[in-house]
Structure 1
Amino acid sequence: MKKTTVLFLFSLFCLFSNSLFSQEFKTYKLDNGLTVYLWPDSNQPDVTGVVAVRAGSIDEPAEYTGLAHYLEHVLFKGTHKIGALDWEKEKPHYDQIIKLYDEYAEATDPAVRVELETKINEESLLAAQYANTSEFSNLVEGMGGEGLNAGTSYDMTFYYNNFPTFQLEKWLDLYSERMINPIFRSFQAELENVFEEYNMYQDNNNTHISQFLFSNLYKGHPYERDIIGTSDDLKNPRLSKLIEFYNTWYVPSNMALILVGNFDAESAKPLIEEKFGRLETKEIPERPSYPETDFSGNPTHKAKLGYSPSVIWGYKGVPVGHQDELLLDFCASLLSNSMNTGLLDKVTLDGDVQYAGASVDSRRDQGRFLIQAVPYYDANQRRYDSDKATEKIVMEQVNKLKAGDIEDWLIESVKNAELRNYELTMENPTSKVAMLRMMFIYNLPLDYFTKMPEKIKAITKADIQQIAKKYIDAGHLTVSIEVGTPKKNKLKKPDIKPIEQPKGKTSAYAEYLKAIPVKPVPEIYNDFADVKTVNLYDKVKLHCSENPMNDYFSVTLKYGVGTKKMPKLKYATSLMNSAGIMPDMDAQSVRREFSKLNATCTYRVTDDYFYINLLGLESNLEEICQLMTRQTLMPKLDEKQLNRVAGNEISSRLMFEAKSADILGNALLEYALYEKESDYIDRLTLEEVFYLTISELTGEIIRATDYTLDIHYVGKRPAAEITEVLKANLPLKEGVKDSESPVIQDRVKYDKQTIYFLPNSDVQQAKIYFYVEGFDYNIADEVEIDAFNQYFSGGFNGLVMNEIRENNSMAYTAVGYVSTPPVQNKNTYFLGYVGTQPDKVADAVDLYMELLKKMPLHPERIDNIKTYLKQSALTTKPTFRLKSQRFADWEKLGYTDDPAKVNMEKINNLTFEQIQNFYEQKIKDKPITIIITGDRKLIDTKQIEQNHGKIRRVNAKQLFSAE
């Protein structure tokens, strides 16, 4: 479950041609008003199902913020049927809980509130005897469902997961039933989980920046509030208001059912009518209107919240679906885009600023046009440029837009990019779902997207200038973010007892759902023959696969070396994305040439591999490859760009590392696993970064291309033809070096239980990791590893989430899994994680250690786990773009056929005893390393030491390289 901040960058969606909707696409309404979108796609291995509701945080009463998001959480707890073991006995306690929460909201005396908390807890414990709050997620797992989750934004809430085609009737029954008489069980316990989610966001400075920005951009409108709600409102909840919110907005005429994937629409329609037609028809109340925020006088707001300084200029925009929306988005793309050809991209590429870009934030009621910049960082002076100097650089480019001073090639480049992005978007089922969800939430006409291509083609320079003057010449506000630490609310752990639910019991509804007959599972496997592999030279291979959907090819060059062996390659790669071509072609000119060819070229690097990625029209493939080859062999790297890259690294280390809760947590974990070999210690010093030169970084790129090379081509041309084309046009070499990648680091060996603790009083949420060294990996163990991971940490059904979150309300996120290496004969390891309030840490450690040392046994879960593993294996079908790379990864592991096919017999014969034996042989009784960072004043270290041993305290300086 997640909170989603929606910044609609319409370049993602303004991309759809008249062929958008295939003849199979259907949309209609049920008699009760429910909207239905059906988009069959036989190329998808399963079905994505979504229920979307046109209700979000904008619809909450001002005094009860966070209702929409909290409702999303408790809609997983069942109904008067789902999870109801004895509703008649549960109901009196549930009604009493509602009444007590109303009293709690009215109470002001702290002693009375504590007493009411205790009473609510007592009633919750009694109610829990008659319910199974995990049943909904168990039922989804039992039908092979994956990706179960939900999201809440300002304008919508949506619930979703993927499921096998043959389970369509069960899925429709379950998802419609969850909307009929939902019971918001475990309200008190789940509220603590929402608090933990709140804490998690509070430890990210970007959360505070967004809150400050939106509170000023949308002042006087519900959009000024954060989606998750204020801490004061979260502390003062009313269950009755949650029920009222549900009854008001969760009505069929305000909801949509979306199905995209491998199903038959005609067979689905009567089932949809039968299941979702049960929802009761209700009227939707009229929504209030809100005044526009006053930007007169161009106000400026400042706050010390950032890891680094930034400036945002906000202008009035338009809501989703407005006639000016497309042109505003086009203006944003002319300023900055994925091709890096925009006016603001140029000042970034030139090194005048660290970053500059534009975006559109369009919502249901209002919208904003945003320009953001990070000032240039002078690595010599160790300081950033002023906001005033940055504004002068940025606004010089913005003024060109307003004056119509835009070259024709740039306008055509953006048009081509958006049409190209459409083709790529249509390859992705997730994007189709997002588009349909958007159509419903914003009441967009059915031809909204199909008319976009012609509208894009018709855009003129005069249109751009007119829109830029209309909106970007008007009043605006400036938000200046300075370096600083946000204030945080430290929350206190409530004195409530954990929920204990009946084990192994199911509702009558669960038995009914399981009894619905399904057709035999079709077992369709990946075929390695779909990829043709050709040896171009020794250690240079070409992998070819077909593009069945459009005329855009992709070529990925994967060199067998990364930053583990060549640490300077990180900085060289960054420069390559802003490189010109010797002798006299600058970076912007190169971007212009790629855009003329309707292509993209990007460079990236990981620990193990250096990549060059090309994408463009098949008809231009030769010219695109030639241009990339010239750039790779003769890169023109710029000193100012090098200063920008070095400045990013230096400022990040000096300002970001010491303050970011995530980086400190990761650095502590790396230290525990690798000590001095940690990526935060074994790296270039700041002095080495500062003194990097253009010549040595140019040499790094050349040296990187000396290693083993795998080329992955996806397109229309046959293997024989593309072999000759790529040999003639790519920078290929004979006699390349053997690759040592992937580099698998040896981890620290612990012979006894060890505890690391990094005190950090600035964070609101503590981080706890649990590490156990594993065993020599062999793919023969794959099924048992997957089965254990699903049992121990399988989403909402796993032991960790069930015990840590559902029953004890200690965390929003709690996981634990055996991690496997990308090659055999290297060690696995177990890694667990819990994020929780500091005053819950000691209890969370106790509980997690109990799970690791004496794992609870629930053999009744084995059927669900087998179903899940089987469907997960059968639906692991890489997209055509990624097929050759995924097959190559499988072959590197030792598979000669689809892993699903190889492992299916083992999955079918899996027993619970195998999971138990795996745990006892591979996990139990092994030394456990506990790694904790959080506020030492609130963490009960005495309890931890008493129960688990002496704590080894570390400080932040130990975690990073000496600079």
Structure 2
Amino acid sequence: MLKRSLVGLLCLVLCITFEGYGQKQYQWKEKTEDGYTYKYVTNDPMGARFYQLKNGLTVVLSVNKKEPRIQTLIGIRAGSNSDPADHTGLAHYLEHLLFKGTDKFGTLDWNKERAYIDRIDSLYTVYNQTTDAGKRKHIYHIIDSVSGVAAKQAIANEYDNMMASLGAQGTNAHTSVEETVYEENIPSNALDRFLAVQGERFRYPVFRLFHTELEAVYEEKNRGLDNDGRKMYETLLSTLFPTHNYGQQSTIGTIEHLKNPSLKAIREFYNKYYVPNNMALIMAGDFNPSYVIKKIDAAFAYMKAAPVKEYAPAPEKPIKAPIVKEVFGPDAESVNIAFRMPGALDTRSSVMLTVMSMVLSNGKAGLIDLNLNKQQKILGASAGVWSFKDYSVFLLGGKAKQDQSLEEVKKLLLEQLDLLKKGSFDESLVKAIVNNAKLAELQGLEDNGSRAESLMDAYIKHKGLQWTSDVAYLDEMGKVTKKQIMDFANRYLAENYVLVYKRKGEDKSIAKVDKPAITPVEVNREARSTFLESMMKIPVTPVEPQWLDYKKDIQQSKIGPADVLYVQNKENGLFRLYYRFEMGSWSDKRLGMAAQYLQFLGTDKATAEQISKAFYNIACNFSVSASSEETTIAITGLQENFAEAVKLFESLITTCKPDDAALAALKDRLRKSRADNKLNKGAIMRGMIQYAMYGEKNPYNYQLSDQELTAITARELTDLLHGLMGYKHSILYYGPEPLATLTPAVQKAHVLPTTFREAPAPVKFTKIDQQENTMLFTDYDMVQVEVTWVRNTMNYDPANTARIMLFNSYFGGGMGTIVFQTIRESKALAYSTYAVYGSPDKKDERYTIRAYVGSQADKIGEAITSMNELLDDMPHTEKIFTTARDGIKQDIETERINQDGIIFSYLSAKKLGLDIDYRKEVYRAVDSLSYGDIAKFHDDNLRHKPYTYCVLASSKNVKEDDLKKFGAVKKLTLPEIFGY
């Protein structure tokens, strides 16, 4: 359910109507199959099987044969809540270390390595207990020296390389307050190999390469210090929960604890919580559950159950009056109002909380949506729920318009709560909320990730014991009455909130984690453990790739002058209709603004608010988006409401009335958004990269000037919208309606001219040549420094596609690549780093190489030098090359492009001048490529070439003279970057 996400638990019988969705019985049943007993819930749309092995390990399996892949999650019911109070961040540390291998993999010779690992363990114990700065520095120097020797026996990233060799995708993990979860998406035929690795992974993890990984965690902490959103989150939790560990223990850990790690404490945490009766293995995808459960049992039977004492906090005392906090930072201002609510274990309260939050904010027809966002009384506002086991958090958030105070935003948000408590909403809204929730679940069922996440969430919160309530969640939502919502709101929402103002200004409380002295360690790229060799001998059943044949997979027709591209939905009653125009903001800068303006307009027959309600009531939606060269209108929802939805939209876009007040408000909000963009480091860096690629005049700063924005009238925007259908566009449809009956249905609602008007010629932007090394620098108040390398190369050639994919997989496109191994694993210079050779999206455009390092400011020289060395001289590692090549083939073998993805694949190929599925040629060509081919590609395109460096940092931390060592420095102003 919805307490997890709107695409969490989904309906398996997709063709059912909403009227027949409820009225079902959800009961636990038990069944034995091939010697294994499992439990299931009747009418569970995911058909989830809940097993508990003899040692207590929970296994939950959900079959979905949409594609030959499996989403796997291995979860432990222990997160930062369970950290020792004197070692916060420990669960997160451990998560990182579970990627380092065991005594069987990740090592050349464990017998030789072990003595050094034990020595490092002892040194950290002494280091942890030492307070004298000089002595600590001396001990760390010894740790660094011994770690360097130990690393000679380590095989860095062997886990990542094993997963890549299996064809795994999304190799990752996360730690939160109540959980640590390890994530993999694997091909179905790699299941046996995967389980061999995972069974070994948790048997006896070795905490090798610890001090370089610790530095990566330092970098992660520093990135959090630069993230105003993260600071607001932690401030909210610490204030809402003055007793509970939700608020008292940071997941990444305090700076003091980060500086004083204890391998002994980490091992104790592992032994205490990483036991089978506190773990779950979730799988969703294409497999035979009877076969899988036997394999899982065999792989994890060695694990022994042990008593686990769950975190049991003392109850929080009620908040009796508003508590106000302030957070400072360079990003845009905002306000959050948070209420402490009952936790997820209280199912009834969870249902009420979900419905209540959506009455306020559902994106279309909630009180906040209509009263604040639709009327543009605020830059943007929303409501939502953070659902934890012991408590939940109900959150209101908003951003101020130009010349609007955060106090005014707070007042407007609280006014919506008053309306909620008074019942100033129509009872029909509740029914619409439930119908839209069911629609979202229908849309999400095919995603294995959503299935697995829902099941893991249930395990973390209640070990799956309340799955009957979870399956019945939507039915329970449908029973909620207006009076119950009012009573619930009046009971829980009073003066008992925490208010956090995010204000612009210097955060004087920041104390970054300083860089320790680290000597680069060996990564032994060519080495393979005997375990890896044996794992690779486990047989796999080949999977045949499936190619698209656009002529067969897409039906084509005409409606007047418009081309129709059609793929039938044979699975459920959902449709997606698109009008795709071959013109965008490069043809008319006003298009993006017109697309936004439309949502605030009404017609002679209905106001903007009434139109939003009408769409929401029929569980349909529309959107208009304008990119640089295309404009896309999307209308989606239930096929049974197709005609009504299309009619509603066509009436709106062809008869919308100019509204001067709405336009004035939109202009004010756009001005504020533009100002906020200049405060956002991500937006600034994106602009710098475009400047590096295209020069002074580039797509990023091709914006309406302040004068142009002011001059635009309501009439010219509505004229633009009224006339849009007269321009050339294609009609794309994915849904259950047969083409023969769809065409007249669309023709009836979608009025087209006899011939299309010619669109304005788009502005042309040309990528520039990098003639010499140049440092583009922009000053930003931040702890870290971010550097992106940019170089434009040759024109697009489809014959290069396989070579480029293989190069990226080898060089810098993932965690098992040369760049990641060198800069993060060996040298500990960054938490995040990559280097990819980017392909254009249309023919006659040029490729661009982009590399990135995000590190501490005092590492900038080392970080730039290290990346430059790799760009100039690419190390040769046959093992990584073979893994990269095999991984590409496995990805293609198990990829299934379906639904409207078929249409968009065709359109993308068409832009590149192709009329076939390019993957077929890549699959054939990649086998013929050798390391020499990508080495030559590297030398021809990257080696000793000039680059434009985009450097985003604080001028207090980075000196211009240091940058000049790498190239001429050009300081970019924000108006140069943004164009306004």
The answer to whether the superposition gives a TM-score over 0.5 is: yes
In structure 1, the residue corresponding to 2:85 is in which secondary structure?
A: coil
Letter in 2 for 1:835: G
TM-score (norm 1): 0.94
Q: Do the aligned partners of 1:572 and 1:701 also contact (CA within 8 Å) in 2?
A: yes
Query: Are 2:904 and 1:882 aligned?
Result: no
Which residue of the other structure, out of 447, 466, 475, is the alignment partner of 2:468?
447
Equivalences for residues 709-724 of structure 1 within 5 A: 709-724=729-744
| Distance apart, 1:810 and its partner CA | 0.7
- Structure 2: distance between partners of 1:957 and 1:482: 20
Corresponding position of 1:951:
968
Cα 1:561–1:820 shift into 2, 3 Å: same
**Counterpart pick for 1:211 among 212, 221, 234:** 234
Conservation of the 8 A alpha-carbon contact between 2:338 and 2:396: yes
Please state if 1:508 is matched with 2:530.
yes
Q: How far apart are the structure 2 equivalents of 1:340 and 1:828?
A: 44
Aligned residue identity for 1:893? L
Residue 199 to residue 340, structure 1, CA distance change in 2 (3 Å) = farther
- Counterpart position of 2:640: 619
* Matching of residue 331 in structure 1 with residue 350 in structure 2: no
Q: What CA distance in whole angstroms lies between the structure 1 residues aligned with 2:67 and 2:373? A: 40
SS at 2:102 equivalent:
coil
What is the CA-CA distance between 1:447 and the residue it aligns to?
A: 1.5
Q: Which moved more, 1:542-551 or 1:834-843?
A: 542-551
The residue number in structure 1 matching 2:263 is: 239
What corresponds to 1:41 in structure 2? 64
C-alpha contact (below 8 Å) 2:545/2:892 kept by paired residues: no
Question: Residues 630-645 of structure 1 correspond to what in structure 2 (within 5 A)?
Answer: 630-645=651-666
CA drift at 1:524: 2.8
The within-5 A match list for 1:69-468 is 69-224=92-247, 225-305=249-329, 307-322=331-346, 323-377=348-402, 383-385=403-405, 387=407, 389-443=408-462, 444=464, 445-468=466-489
The letter for the 2-side match of 1:352 is: K
Q: Distance in 2 between matches of 1:640 and 1:434?
A: 44
Q: Secondary structure at the match of 1:317?
A: strand
Note closer, same or farther for the CA distance 1:634–1:293 as it changes in structure 2 (3 Å cut): farther
Distance 1:50 1:10 in 2: 17
Distance 1:961 1:943, change over 3 A: closer
Q: Give the superposition deviation at 1:824.
A: 2.1
Q: Is the 8 A contact 2:785 2:953 kept in 1?
A: yes
Matched residue, 1:3: none
Deviation at 1:45, TM superposition (A): 3.1
Match of 1:29 among 36, 52, 56: 52
Pair 527,67 (structure 1): closer, same or farther in 2 beyond 3 Å: farther
User: Which residue of 668, 682, 685 corresponds with 1:662?
Assistant: 682
Q: 1:258 & 1:741 partners in 2: Cα distance?
A: 53
CA offset at residue 716 of structure 1? 0.8
Task: Tell me the residue number matched to 2:606.
Answer: 585
SS in 2 for 1:797: coil
User: Which residue does 1:67 correspond to in 2?
Assistant: 90
Deviation at 1:23, TM superposition (A): 8.3
Comparing 9-18 with 398-407, greater Cα deviation is found at 9-18
What number of residue pairs does the alignment pair up? 946
CA distance in 2, matches of 1:375, 1:840: 37
- Whether the 8 Å CA contact 1:156–1:441 is kept in 2: the answer is yes
* Distance change (3 Å), C-alpha of 1:474 and 1:866: same
Greater Cα shift, 85-94 or 62-71: 62-71
For residues 640 and 386 of structure 1, the distance between their equivalents in structure 2, rounded to whole angstroms, comes to 23
CA shift, 1:758, in A, is 3.1
Partner of 1:380: none
CA contact (8 A) 1:791 1:865 kept: yes
CA distance in structure 2 between the partners assigned to 1:294 and 1:68 by the alignment: 29
Deviation at 1:193, TM superposition (A): 1.0
Measured in 2, the distance between the counterparts of 1:934 and 1:78 equals: 36
Identity of aligned residues (%): 26
2:585 corresponds to 1:566: no
1:470, distance to aligned residue in structure 2 (A)? 1.5
How far 1:857 sits from its partner (Å)?
1.3
C-alpha distance in structure 1 between counterparts of 2:661 and 2:379, whole Å: 11
Distance change >3 Å, CA 940–CA 507, structure 1 → 2: farther
| Aligned 1:473-872 pairs, distance under 5 A | 473=494, 475-487=496-508, 488-528=510-550, 529-538=552-561, 540-580=562-602, 582-657=603-678, 659-737=679-757, 745-760=765-780, 762-872=781-891
Listed one character per residue, the Cα deviations across residues 375-418 of structure 1 (whole Å, up to 9, x for unaligned) are 443xxxxx11461x444433333222212232122222112111
* Structure 1 residue 907 corresponds to structure 2 residue 926: yes
- Contact 1:525/1:901 (8 A) holds in 2: yes
Distance in structure 1 (CA, Å) of the matches to 2:150 and 2:841: 47
The C-alpha deviation readout for 1:617-636, integer Å capped at 9, x for no partner, is: 21121111011001111223
Question: Relative to structure 2, which stretch is displaced further, 189-198 or 470-479?
Answer: 470-479
Q: Letter of the aligned partner of 2:736 in structure 1?
A: K
Distance 1:308 1:850, change over 3 A: closer
Does structure 2 retain, via aligned residues, the 8 Å contact 1:526–1:877?
Answer: no
The amino acid that maps onto 1:594 is F
Q: Say if 1:881 and 1:436 are closer, same or farther in 2 by CA, change over 3 A.
A: farther
SS at match of 2:515: coil
CA–CA distance in structure 1, aligned partners of residues 376 and 779 of structure 2: 38
* Alignment partners' CA distance in 1, 2:43 and 2:920: 35
State how far apart, in whole Å, the 2-side matches of 1:922 and 1:30 are. 54
1:14 Cα offset (Å): 6.9
Change in 2 beyond 3 A, CA 1:10/1:718: closer
Check conservation: 2:399, 2:406, Cα contact below 8 A. no
Whole-Å Cα distance in 1 between the matches of residues 284 and 866 of structure 2? Answer: 41
Mark the runs of 5 or more structure 1 residues left unpaired by the alignment: 1-5, 378-382
Report the alpha carbon displacement of residue 637 of structure 1 after superposing the two structures with TM.
5.0
Q: Which range moves more in the overlay, 86-95 or 225-234?
A: 225-234
> How far did 1:792 drift?
0.7
Cα shift at 1:254: 1.1
Q: Secondary structure at the match of 1:636?
A: coil
Q: Distance in 2 between matches of 1:843 and 1:199?
A: 18
2:979 & 2:577 partners in 1: Cα distance?
Answer: 40
RMSD: 2.4
The alignment partner of 2:511 has SS state of coil
Q: Partners in 1 of 2:761 and 2:313 — Cα distance?
A: 59
Normalized against structure 2, the TM-score is what?
0.92
Q: Residues 229-257 of structure 1: CA distance to partner in whole angstroms, max 9, x if unpaired?
A: 22222122112111111111111111111
Report deviation, 1:744: 7.0
Name whichever of 855-864 and 613-622 sits farther off: 855-864
Provide the rounded CA distance (Å) in 1 between the counterparts of 2:320 and 2:486. Answer: 22
1:214 partner letter: L
Quick check: 2:284–2:451 contact (8 Å CA) kept in 1?
yes
Q: Deviations over 1:645-680 (max 9, x none)?
A: 3223222333541x3222332232222222322345
Paired letter, 1:284: V
In 2, Cα distance between equivalents of 1:347 and 1:486: 30
Indicate the larger mover: 528-537 or 803-812: 528-537
CA distance in 1, matches of 2:773, 2:427: 66
CA distance in 1, matches of 2:461, 2:596: 39
Change (3 A) 1:735 1:188: same
Question: CA distance change for structure 1 residues 938 and 307 in 2, over 3 Å: closer, same or farther?
Answer: closer
